[in-house]
Amino acid sequence: SQQGEEDPQALSIQEGENATMNCSYKTSINNLQWYRQNSGRGLVHLILIRSNEREKHSGRLRVTLDTSKKSSSLLITASRAADTASYFCATDDSSYKLIFGSGTRLLVRP
């Protein structure tokens, strides 16, 4: 079953612009994680935000979490062509299962 749903499904921006992706989920969570996947490759862990945290930064990444709305956002600032990839949110509940959303395909045009 899929827990998270990303929005938008696809995003195309110009290099240097910011990219914002949203994720909604349905059940209570321990934490929410964001992953990146280059075409046809494995997933790379980007950032984890715990359920008692509201915002977290890592380099050009900024993640927010609103547990009352069961939603999260990933902001990539000053995007680069190399940021082109699919981005997935995933929720981790007390059963230790990581459930993924359907992903956002980001294209950064040089």
Partner 1 sequence: SQTIHQWPATLVQPVGSPLSLECTVEGTSNPNLYWYRQAAGRGLQLLFYSVGIGQISSEVPQNLSASRPQDRQFILSSKKLLLSDSGFYLCAWRHYGYTFGSGTRLTVV
2 binds partner 1 (CB under 8 A): yes
> Which two three-digit tokens encode residue 25?
């989920």
- CB 78 to partner 1: min, Å: 24
> Which two three-digit tokens encode residue 82?
């190399």
- CB 47 to partner 1: min, Å: 8
Q: Tell me the Ramachandran region of residue 70: left when phi exceeds 0, alpha when psi lies from -120 to 50, beta otherwise.
A: left
Question: Which one of residues 26, 41, 57, 109 is an interface residue with partner 1 (CB under 8 A)?
Answer: 41
The amino acid occupying position 85 is A
Q: Name the residues that contact partner 1, by CB under 8 A.
A: 1-2, 33, 35, 40-45, 48, 88, 90, 96-103
